[in-house]
């Protein structure tokens, strides 16, 4: 008996082909819509000022130039903004991951009253928009004497990252068989030792996902940095890029080049850990 042709496991019929073509066409349109701003940013950053502000705009630079990158890095305080953002994002990510791994493991393994209610509360906190909490956070930081310090940003960013990271890692820890810890206990390992030497290595994709999430969220955050920071030398990158707006004009050349530099660390980090991030997101989403 001759087998019927299939495509992606489905019988290859006229209706199936039309359906797949429609889906792929929508996906292509979505990808183009998402990537076009990135393309325009990269293209504009490589145009000289005369071409960037010309009446007849072109999709690609006619005269390729790195002048904008040199001007933004050497002619502005952009390096200071870059260092400030990296410091805040790195410390926030380290704190978020260090706290969330123990909190998520406790929720996944330890049976205590209110465990499920606490897990649900973590999701509820994600429903509140950040702008709703700016004024209370401002008052708290003011009374603690932390306004206009990077410590205020680190505390705020960590507090908003923890609910998501704890929830995701909880699902990932629950997906790891508990028998592995029991086997380690038979060999004489304590629960904490089994967690560090058995569970954490297996949870690598989940850790990569929450690390990436915490870093990007801190790297790109604008609202709290705008409210808490007052000194120019303490600005982070989002506020620094916004400062390129002058009284009567907007320095698009500096903005496009600065945005390109801001994108590079995140893009490099994502490409480096892409496989682990996808596994972690899927694992946390399915088991959470």
Which of the 8 DSSP states describes residue 147?
A: T
Rounded to 5 degrees, φ, ψ at 56 are -100, 100
Q: Rounded distance, CA 235 to CA 225, Å? A: 7
Which residue would you say has higher pLDDT here, 229 or 181?
Answer: 229
pLDDT-derived band at 284, boundaries 50, 70, 90: very low
Q: What is the pLDDT of residue 167?
A: 85
Residue 145 pLDDT > 50, yes or no?
yes
Which pTM was predicted? 0.81
Residue 222: CB atoms within 10 A of its CB come to: 14
pLDDT for 78-134, tens place per residue? 999 999 999 999 999 999 999 999 988 888 888 878 777 777 787 787 778 888 889
Q: Rounded distance, CA 125 to CA 184, Å? A: 36
Residue 233 pLDDT > 70, yes or no?
yes
Q: Rounded distance, CA 137 to CA 155, Å? A: 10
Nearest Cα to Cα of residue 252 among 267, 241, 236: 241
pLDDT for 36-86, tens place per residue? 998 999 898 898 888 877 778 788 888 888 889 999 999 889 999 999 999
End-to-end CA distance of the chain: 45
The domain made up of 77-287 is a member of CATH 1.10.132.20: no
Nearest Cα to Cα of residue 46 among 264, 265, 260, 266: 260
Q: What is the pLDDT of residue 118?
A: 78
Q: What is the pLDDT of residue 96?
A: 93
Q: What is the pLDDT of residue 277?
A: 61
Q: Rounded distance, CA 178 to CA 261, Å? A: 44
Domain boundaries, the chain: 6-69, 77-287
Rounded to 5 degrees, φ, ψ at 202 are -75, -20
pLDDT for 125-142, tens place per residue? 777 888 888 999 999 999
Mean predicted lDDT score pLDDT of the chain: 84
């Amino acid at each position: 008996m001759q087998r019927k042709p299939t495509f992606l496991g489905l019988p290859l019929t006229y209706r199936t082909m039309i359906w797949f073509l429609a889906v792929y066409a929508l996906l292509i349109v979505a990808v183009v819509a998402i990537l076009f701003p990135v393309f325009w940013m990269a293209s504009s950053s490589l145009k000289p000022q005369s071409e960037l502000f010309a009446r007849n705009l072109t999709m690609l630079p006619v005269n390729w130039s790195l002048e904008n990158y040199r001007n933004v890095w050497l002619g502005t305080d952009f390096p200071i903004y870059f260092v400030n953002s990296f410091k805040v994002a790195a410390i926030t990510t380290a704190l978020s991951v260090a706290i969330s791994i123990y909190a998520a493991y406790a929720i996944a393994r330890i049976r205590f009253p209110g465990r499920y209610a606490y897990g649900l509360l973590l999701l509820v906190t994600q429903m509140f928009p950040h702008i709703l909490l700016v004024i209370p956070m401002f008052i708290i930081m003011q009374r603690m004497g932390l306004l206009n310090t990077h410590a205020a940003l680190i505390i705020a960013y960590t507090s908003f990252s923890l609910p998501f990271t704890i929830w995701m890692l909880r699902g990932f820890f629950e997906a790891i068989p508990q028998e592995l810890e029991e086997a380690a206990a038979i060999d004489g390992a304590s629960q904490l030792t089994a967690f560090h030497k058995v569970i954490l290595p297996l949870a690598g994709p989940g850790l990569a996902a929450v690390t990436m999430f915490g870093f990007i969220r801190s790297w790109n955050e604008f609202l709290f940095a705008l409210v808490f920071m007052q000194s120019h030398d303490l600005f982070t990158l989002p506020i620094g890029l916004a400062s390129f707006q002058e009284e009567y004009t907007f320095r698009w050349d500096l903005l496009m080049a600065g945005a390109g530099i801001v994108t590079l660390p995140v893009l490099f980090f994502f490409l480096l850990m892409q496989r682990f991030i996808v596994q972690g997101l899927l694992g946390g989403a399915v088991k959470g």
